[in-house]
Structures are given as structure tokens and as C-alpha cells.
Amino acid sequence: MAIFRHATFEISAAKPSGLPSSLGAEIAFAGRSNAGKSSAINTLVGHTRLAFVSKTPGRTQLINVFRMRNGAALVDLPGYGFAQVPLAVRLQWQGLLEEYLIRRTNLIGLVLIMDSRRPLTELDWKMVGWFAPTGRPIHCLLTKSDKLTRQAQAETLRETRAALAEALPTYINGITVQLFSSLKKTGMAEVERVVDGWLTAAHFPADDVLASAAAEVEDQKDGDVDAVTAEDKKSPRQSGE
């Protein structure tokens, strides 16, 4: 499937109003600082440095948009909750995240990144609380699962699913949860399947237009190659006429 593969950087914005007014579907990636969000994005797109992986959690302060080949956008939101970031900055990020998650009309789903060793922190619950009322789906990636034993992985997955189901029993679209490891590259097929389902259900016309435009470019390239090949096959006499 590989729907994220070969996504390319499009734009960075300090606030939602700075984003392009695209009609294409958007999938947001959000998570607590140091939960492995940038690493997860890089693993999914197959590029080691597409999303910035900082050694200092809390450094990514912009909304970063990456365009996928099908025309939809992967939107990397600023990491939240790092204690060493000044309070004023943290409050600014909180307002930015809340505004984007609640008011962005072409946002079709949220991929919530959580460290599998400590999922569902207070701020993770706040993110779920902001987004769940929109009625759009949430898919939780429990990252760094390679650091847990198989038994601990199973327990974490079961407990996280149970806690979310208990807290939001009437959530129409529900919240799905999976284990993920950027290091081992495990869990990639599952998140791609989930997000592909969101895109299929949403079916934004703009995605078809963008994908069609990309196909036309490729067709044009093929046509140019065919023309050059035909010219090369001409005899010296024919080329001189």
C-alpha cells in the first residue's frame, strides 16, 4: 500500500491561518515531545530526515505539511508537553493545536503518537478531548514498542484500548490503537491500512485532481521519451528532409 511513501515537504506555518486553503484531505500527526513522532513520520515516508528529529524535545514549533502522492497531506503538528519549554510558549502551542484540530475543515483524522512505555498522559487525554467531539477518527501509535518485552507489549496494548473504550464508550468513529517501532519498522502496514480507510471514506475530490495531475506529468514524460526514440530511429536521409 505504502500511501505515505515519497511524501514531499510543502510548507511550514506558525499558525493554522498560514496554511494553504487546500481542499485536499489532511491527516494530522500529533504527540507529546520525545514520544517518537518525527521518527515515526520518517519511517512511514521512507526518508531519514524529512521530519526534523531534534535531540532537544520541544524544538519543533511549526506546523509542517508534507504532500503525499495521492494528493492528501500529512500534517506534522508541534510536539507538546515538554517541561523545559517556557510556559508562554507552551500555552501558545496549546492554542495552535486546539485551533487546528477543531477548526480545520479538511482534517479527516488524527494519528496520536504516544510512547508505549507511558501512554495516555494527562496531555494525551487533553488531545483526545479536543478532537473526539469532532466525530473524526483517532488512531494511536504506541511507539518505541521494541523497548518492551512481548508480554509488556500485549499488556500495554490491551490496557490502552480498555482505558479509551471506558472513557469514550459512545465515540461513533472510535479510537484504534496499535504498537509501532521506528527502529524495527514494525506496524507500518497497519497504520497505512487505517489511514487509507479514512481517505477512501472521505474521498476528497481535490485528491483525485492532484493525483490526476501527477499522472499527466508522468504521461508527458513518457511521451517525450517516445518522441525522442522515434527521432533516433529515423535514417540520415529522413532526418535531412
Which is higher by pLDDT, 39 or 217?
A: 39
Whether 217 is covered by a domain: the verdict is no
Asked if residue 166 belongs to a domain, the reply is yes
Task: Look at the chain and count its residues.
Answer: 241
Mean pLDDT, the chain, rounded, equals 81
Residue 231: band (very low, low, confident or very high) from pLDDT cuts 50, 70, 90:
very low
pLDDT above 60: residue 155: yes
User: Considering its fold, how many domains does the chain have in total?
Assistant: 1
| Three-state secondary structure call for residue 1 | coil
- pLDDT beyond 70 at 21: yes
Residue 182 lies in a domain: yes
> How far is Cα 24 from Cα 30, in angstroms, rounded to an integer?
19
> Is residue 159 one of the residues assigned to a domain?
yes
Cell (9 digits) for 211: 493525483
State how far Cα 27 lies from the chain centre. 5
Pure H helices in the chain: 37-45, 87-103, 122-131, 150-167, 188-202, 205-232, 236-240
Say if 220 falls within a structural domain: no
What average pLDDT score do residues 74-78 get? 92
Q: Report if residue 192 sits inside a domain.
A: yes
- Residue 130, domain CATH: 3.40.50.300
Higher pLDDT among residues 50 and 118, named by residue: 118
Cβ distance 129 to 110 under 8 Å? no
Q: What confidence category does residue 84 fall into, taking pLDDT thresholds of 50, 70 and 90?
A: low
Range of the domain at 106: 8-203
More confident residue, 173 or 212: 173
Average of per-residue pLDDT across 40-63 = 69
Average pLDDT over residues 134-143: 96
Mean pLDDT of 144-154: 97
Q: Across residues 207-224, what is the average pLDDT?
A: 47
Average pLDDT over residues 44-58: 61
Residue 239 lies in a domain: no
Could you read off the pLDDT of 185-213 as tens digits, one per residue? 999 999 999 999 999 998 765 445 445 54
Query: What's the average model confidence in pLDDT over 52-78?
Result: 76
Q: Is residue 225 included in any domain, yes or no?
A: no
Q: Which residue has the higher pLDDT, 112 or 206?
A: 112
Asked if the model's pLDDT at residue 145 lies above 60, the reply is: yes
CB neighbour class for 108 (10 Å; exposed up to 12, middle 13-18, buried from 19): buried
